[in-house]
Each structure stands twice: as structure tokens, then as C-alpha cells.
Amino acid sequence: MGYPCPMCGRYTLTVDASVLADLFELEPLTEFQPRYNIAPTRAGPIVRSGVEGDREWGVVRGGLVPSWAYEALIGRRVITARAETVAQKPSFRSAYKHRRCLVPADGFYEWVKTGGAKQPHHIRFADRRPFACAGLWERGIEPETGAPIDSCTILTTTPNELMADLHDRMPVILPPRRFGDWIQPGPLGPDAAEAVLLPFPAEELEAVPVTTLVNSPRNEDPRCLEPVGEQGALGFD
């Protein structure tokens, strides 16, 4: 039996690799497969600034492992970072200054308690287009093997009107015009941070109740997105 994760702990990336390449102005990601239930500690793609300052793909595990961490499992506790405090927190300060990234997605899951159960919802753009969440990445070391660990976390902010009925936080979704501002190397000024770390407008999003198959991270196929119920005020009742 699976269980729901913290805010934006599970997300989807089901579009074709060529669509992602167009969005991020990169060559298509090689060996890409649609993902229907990306869970914490599972590997997923990011877009980051390379050594020469150009955009590049990376494949990292979810849940940021700080470079000073003594165990990789700390990543389970830092799946997300609050935008309001990310610049001050020891776990995130260095990555926020030097290793910001884009986390591609085309939706994320959130659970709402209904009676004695929790109903999963898939939050996405109404036209199903992919988007990017503001993220941070870090390179740590696996203590037992000495191997490098690239990991990431997703920033969250206050909810918009749609998300307020589901959760008290939502991921920071960046419009394409802000991609370059976010991943440019070096510290991000306060004005630039204020411009990007905002709740995305609710009008373009929908929240669709989906099957509880998504509760288990072992389920990673199109059935996870099967809708249930009928559309209502949230998107659905």
C-alpha cells in the first residue's frame, strides 16, 4: 500500500521528448520515457546551466542531498524548499546562489482528505502543456561508495486560488520568459527573486481527481491519470 507525499512530492512528465526540447531550446533528451508517477528519490530530468553557461540536461534524484550531508537519505526530508526562506536555510543556501535549475513536468499530484480517505488530484495546465518548476540541484557524495550524487529539490510558494482548496503551498511554476533569469549562474538579486518566486495564476490550471493507483510509487503507467468523479468548483467535487 502506498501513501501520499508532501507537496509536489509526486509529479508527471508524459509529453514527447521533442516537445520538451522545443520548450527548453535544447536537443531532445536521449532515452527519455514518459513518466506517470515520479516519486521522491526517483531519478528525473532537469535543465541547468552548464560549465560554459549554456543550458544542458541533467538527470538527478529527487530530494536534495546537501554536499555536507552524511547520508543520502536526508534527501527524503528535503523534497521541497520554501521560496520565502530558501536563501537563508543551510541546506539550500549554496545551491540557491550557484545551482538553480528547471524541473520539467506536465502535472503534479496533491491529495485531499475526503471522509476517511485521501483523494489524489492531478494539477496541470488545462491545455496539458508542459511547464517548469523552479528547482535547486546539488552534487553530494555517497558515503559508502564515494560516488557523486546529483539531486534536486522543488521550490514552493503560497497557493493560488485553485491550490488553496487543496494545500497551503504550491510549486513555483516559471513561465518560459523567466527560464533564463532563474538558471543564470551566480546569485539571484532580491528584485529578480521577487519576480519569479510567485504563485502561478489559477486561471490556466485545473485540478482533476484521479485514481488511487497513484498512491503507490510502484504504479508508473498511464492508468495513474485515469479521472474519477465529475468536474466541479476545484476542477471537481
Query: Catalytic positions, please?
Result: 8, 110
Q: Please, are residues 74 and 99 in contact by the beta-carbon 8 Å criterion?
A: no
Q: Please, are residues 34 and 45 in contact by the beta-carbon 8 Å criterion?
A: no
What is the torsional sign of CA 186, 189, 195, 199? positive
What is the torsional sign of CA 107, 111, 112, 117? positive
Q: Would you state the cell numbers that stand for residue 116, as one nine-digit string?
A: 476517511
> Nearest-5° angle of CA 178, CA 183, CA 189?
80
Provide the 10 A C-beta neighbour count for residue 160: 17
Round to the nearest angstrom and report the end-to-end CA distance of the chain. Answer: 25
